[in-house]
Amino acid sequence: MITSKERVLTAFNHQEPDRVPVWLGASPGFRRKAIEHLGLPDDESLSRYVRDDFRRVWARFCGPDKVSPDMHLPPGVTFRSPFGILRHGYEGGQPIDHSLRHATTLDEIEAYPWPDPGWMDVSPIRADATLFSDQYAILGGEWSPFWHDAIDLLSMDTLMLKMYDAPEMVDALLGHIVDYYFEISRRTFDVAADLIDIFFIGNDFGSQTGPLLSESLFRRFLLPQLKRLIDLGHDYGLKVLLHCCGGFAPLIPAMIEAGLDGLQALQPNCRGMNPAALKAAFGDRLTLMGAINSQVMIESTPDAVREETRRILEIMKPGGGYVASPSHDYVLVETPVENVLALYEAVAEWGKY
């Protein structure tokens, strides 16, 4: 019997393992709910229960005052980003303000108090990865949501306008953001790349009806920064997996040109994200991960989830190169536990090669 690590890497090499690998990305709220529902003792037991083939390792926040950025938040604030943006609302919420929205010069971008990568402690990562690296595929590196951070700092409309009116400001902004994530990930890989298999990063470039920006703007501003991260992972011998929500199919060829190894989420209810079309167009060049409709999982029944999972497996599993997961990186707390379990039960039944 092969290990989870071997199963995942076989899929990433576009070969057929013993069964389709699975991953459960879920919010802390959902994981707590599922653990209680199942009467399990801890978080690791939930991962084992659903036969999750992956484990994740993270750097820890340690500065500048050794206090986590989500502690001692003002009333009504639910999250503080590394770039000082305060957010409120459900599951991370929306920014309360955009710190650089009114910036008009490159000097203002340069003068912003950019975070220090040294605030993140990578020293525990090797021990964390060692716990699982013999058995499971290890996801590591910073999430690196540079597109979201740029929107938070400038606002969406201001960012879009400056792509035309002040491109040098956008380049500088994105460069500083990615510098931060790049350096933390580099330090992570310096201490544990031999135990990590996949550099997993996330940016949502799509909406329900298509990409959030044109292919030309994506190639001009975002692809170079994405490629920096892809190249970093490859320099350490890692596969690079991108989470991306929405209908972003027109951008996928550029991602492949940049060397991306895999895509996660694949929301089938968004424009251009038909699973069969994605498999036919890109399945020989990208590992495809997800495509099991999270909306069905929230709104429907276990039987409907099982049938949807079976349908997606029939499309995506032939030839390998597929990992089963919900069509989102975060199963939300309102998702019925029975529906999530139905997905993983269906893969156990119908995901064998």
User: Is the pLDDT reported for residue 161 higher than 70?
Assistant: yes
Element (H, E) at 201: strand 198-202
Per-chain mean pLDDT for the chain: 96
| C-alpha 207, offset from chain centre | 16
User: What are 226-261's pLDDT values in tens digits?
Assistant: 999 999 999 999 999 999 999 999 999 999 999 999
User: Is the pLDDT reported for residue 20 higher than 60?
Assistant: yes
User: Is the pLDDT reported for residue 218 higher than 90?
Assistant: yes
Element (H, E) at 210: strand 210-211
Q: Please, what is the Cα angle at 242 between 298 and 155, to 5 degrees?
A: 80
User: What are 324-350's pLDDT values in tens digits?
Assistant: 999 999 999 999 999 999 999 999 999
Do the Cβ atoms of 74 and 86 come closer than 8 Å?
yes
User: Is the pLDDT reported for residue 92 higher than 60?
Assistant: yes
The stretch 51-65 carries a mean pLDDT of 89
Q: What fold is seen in the domain 4-350? A: TIM Barrel (3.20.20)
Q: Which residues, in sequence order, are bridge partners of residue 288?
A: 263, 322
- Using pLDDT thresholds of 50, 70 and 90, give the confidence band for residue 64: low
* Residue 137: closest CA among 21, 285, 308, 29: 21
Cα torsion 93, 50, 328, 332: sign: negative
- Using pLDDT thresholds of 50, 70 and 90, give the confidence band for residue 91: confident
- Using pLDDT thresholds of 50, 70 and 90, give the confidence band for residue 295: very high
For residue 65, the model assigns a pLDDT of 60
- Give start and end residues of each alpha helix (H) in the chain: 4-12, 28-38, 43-49, 106-111, 125-130, 146-154, 156-165, 167-192, 215-217, 223-235, 252-257, 275-282, 294-299, 302-316, 337-350
User: What are 96-139's pLDDT values in tens digits?
Assistant: 999 999 999 999 999 999 999 999 999 999 999 999 999 999 99
For residue 75, the model assigns a pLDDT of 83
pTM of the model: 0.96
For residue 66, the model assigns a pLDDT of 53
Percent of the chain whose pLDDT exceeds 90: 92
The domain segmentation of the chain, as residue ranges, is 4-350
- Using pLDDT thresholds of 50, 70 and 90, give the confidence band for residue 68: low
User: Is the pLDDT reported for residue 67 higher than 70?
Assistant: no
Could you identify the residue written with the tokens 């037991």?
A: 45
- Using pLDDT thresholds of 50, 70 and 90, give the confidence band for residue 70: low
The stretch 156-182 carries a mean pLDDT of 98
The stretch 61-73 carries a mean pLDDT of 66
For 200, phi then psi, to 5°, come to: -110, 120
Do the Cβ atoms of 180 and 117 come closer than 8 Å?
yes
- Using pLDDT thresholds of 50, 70 and 90, give the confidence band for residue 1: confident
For residue 177, the model assigns a pLDDT of 98
